[in-house]
């Protein structure tokens, strides 16, 4: 029986985004505040995922041994360090979140049966690396507050109540939506970036947060005049809004996750086949919700 086990670790370190071949002005333009001397720091949280067969003792690996490997190879070297100098890999390619995850994989892969390295720079920014060359995934999170009403325009009030329950009440209700956007791409061999993080955050702000925040979605967002703004349809619409702008930044939109409440969330995976299937059903009423 194959099983995946996960081990958490953490370290505190500083880094600076600065390329010596660029002028000070060019570094400031490309990296913004992250180029400031002497750098800035984070409390990094690391998750190592490993896969293997269950042994007769009910374990994939002895997690005590795993802990010592991670400490010896990673955290004891990175904790309270200046990342640009601590490993030679970061002198060639800057220590961005996605590149740190990649290098951690390379340093652990001969010791542990890895399937994923996930690194949180802070709760709103993290990267996933799965051992595929320079390919990685970068995720950012944000939020907006909005109201909506779940009612299909072609159905009666009674039918809408049967499908959507109290979410069909005429005056709607609101949520503090939590949005996670994941971008897939190749790590640049010099900057260490999949996409420019500042530009990515600005795209999400311009296309989603600013237009959606403090709105009544059914009335203020034209798309939802004829489409029921369920969490699923909102996430799908967000994915359609972000796909082209993120591609223009040099990345590929991989996933949109929308958390409507602590109990309800949905995920849209943005492959072409998934998008085609989802778009064909966008105007169909959803099944009853709890």
Domain assignments of the chain as residue spans, ordered by start? 1-132, 134-290
Does the active-site annotation cover 266?
A: no
226: left (phi over 0), alpha (psi -120 to 50) or beta: alpha
Residue-level pLDDT at 1: 82
214 is catalytic: yes
Percent of the chain with pLDDT over 90: 93
Q: Residues with Cβ < 8 Å from 2, sequence gap 6 or more?
A: 51, 52, 53
Per-residue pLDDT for 116 more than 50? yes
Catalytic residue among 111, 122, 173, 214: 214
Query: What is the fold of 1-132?
Result: Tetrahydropterin Synthase; Chain A (3.30.479)
Each residue of 29-41: pLDDT tens digit?
A: 999 999 999 999 9
Q: Report the predicted TM-score, pTM, of the whole model to 2 decimal places.
A: 0.91
Q: What is the pLDDT of residue 272?
A: 59
The whole-angstrom separation of Cα 97 and Cα 105 is: 13
121, 180, 232, 260: the active-site residue: 260
CATH number for region 134-290: 3.30.479.10
Same topology for domains 1-132 and 134-290, yes or no?
A: yes
- Which class for 49: exposed (0-12), middle (13-18), buried (19 or more C-beta within 10 A)? middle
Instruction: Tell me how far apart the alpha carbons of residues 236 and 215 are, in angstroms, rounded to a whole number.
Output: 18
Count Cα atoms within 13 angstroms, Cβ side, for 122: 7
Model confidence pLDDT, tens digit, residues 138-170: 999 999 999 999 999 999 999 999 999 999 999
Rounded Cα distance between 82 and 174, Å, is: 44
Catalytic annotation, pick one of 34, 42, 167, 175: 167
Tell me what pLDDT residue 213 has.
98
DSSP string, 105-174: HHHHTTTS-EEEEEEEEETTEEEEE-SSTTEEEEEEEEEEEEEE----TTS-HHHHHHHHGGGG-TT-EE
260 catalytic residue (yes or no): yes
Contact status, residue 255 vs residue 270, Cβ threshold 8 Å = yes
| pLDDT tens-digit map of 59-92 | 999 999 999 999 999 999 999 999 999 999 999 9
Percentage of the chain beyond pLDDT 70 is 93
Closest CA to 101 of 180, 47, 140, 52: 47
* Residue 52: strand, helix, or coil: strand
Q: Return the minimum-mean-pLDDT range out of 76-90, 145-159, 239-253, 259-273.
A: 259-273
Residue 29, CA distances (Å) to 17, 18, 19, 223 in order: 11, 11, 12, 36
Q: Which of 71-99 are b and which e, b meaning 16 or more Cβ less than 10 Å from the residue's Cβ?
A: eebbbeebeebebbebbebbeebbbbbbb
Q: What average pLDDT does range 247-264 have in this prediction? A: 97
Element (H, E) at 7: strand 2-15
């Amino acid at each position: 029986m194959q099983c995946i086990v996960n081990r958490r670790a953490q370290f505190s370190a500083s880094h600076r985004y600065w390329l010596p071949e660029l002028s000070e002005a060019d570094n400031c333009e490309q990296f913004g505040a992250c180029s400031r001397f002497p750098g800035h720091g984070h409390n990094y949280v690391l998750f190592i995922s490993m896969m293997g067969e269950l042994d007769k003792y009910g374990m994939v690996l002895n997690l005590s041994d795993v802990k010592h490997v991670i400490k010896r190879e990673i955290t004891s070297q990175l904790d309270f360090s200046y990342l640009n100098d601590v490993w030679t890999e970061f002198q060639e390619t800057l220590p961005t979140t996605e590149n740190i995850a990649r290098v951690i994989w390379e340093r652990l892969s001969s010791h542990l049966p890895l399937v994923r390295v996930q690194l949180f720079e802070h709760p709103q920014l993290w990267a996933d690396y799965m051992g595929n060359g320079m390919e990685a995934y970068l995720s950012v999170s944000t939020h907006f507050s909005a109201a909506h009403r779940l009612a299909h325009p072609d159905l009666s009030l009674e039918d809408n109540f049967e499908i959507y329950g109290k979410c069909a009440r005429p005056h709607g209700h609101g949520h503090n939506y939590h949005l996670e956007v994941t971008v897939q791409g190749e790590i640049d061999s010099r900057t260490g970036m999949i996409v420019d993080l500042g530009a990515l955050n600005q795209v999400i702000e311009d296309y989603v947060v600013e237009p959606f925040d403090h709105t009544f979605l059914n009335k203020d967002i034209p798309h939802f005049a004829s489409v029921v703004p369920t969490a699923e349809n909102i996430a799908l619409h967000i994915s359609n809004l972000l796909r082209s702008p993120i591609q223009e930044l040099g990345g590929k939109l991989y996933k949109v996750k929308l958390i409507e409440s602590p109990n309800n969330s949905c995920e849209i995976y943005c492959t072409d086949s998934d998008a085609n299937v989802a778009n064909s059903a966008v105007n169909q009423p959803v099944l009853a919700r709890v």
